Amino acid sequence: ETGVTQSPTHLIKTRGQQVTLRCSSQSGHNTVSWYQQALGQGPQFIFQYYREEENGRGNFPPRFSGLQFPNYSSELNVNALELDDSALYLCASSWAAKSYGYTFGSGTRLTVV
């Protein structure tokens, strides 16, 4: 049974650029949630994908978008990067949209300069 894999692990981008982060969900899981964790703070919910459809969204602007693929892997896209987007981006997978059990990835550390 594989865990959740995120790529890349680290990334440096320039303000105004676009970035795509990737997440492979744990085998057997069909739901992926994305979180943003600023330094010294708890993670904040960005959105969730369940069976390839967005299933809930946090307080993030539309330049944060996502996709889920038929194999349940997922992408997080951020357009027009701002300095405040610098954070650790975490992906968590689960079996169903209201599942109790989550498996987290190790995160992607994004730095915007």
Which residue among 33, 73, 74, 93 contacts other proteins (CB under 8 A)?
33
Contact present, 89 and 105 (Cβ < 8 Å): no
For residue 52, the 8-state DSSP code is T
Cβ of residue 16: shortest distance to other proteins, in angstroms? 25
Assess 55 for contact with other proteins (CB under 8 A).
yes
Q: Where are the alpha helices (DSSP H) in the chain?
A: none
**Residues binding other proteins (CB under 8 A):** 31, 33, 35, 37, 40-45, 48, 55-56, 58, 88, 90, 92, 94, 97-107, 109
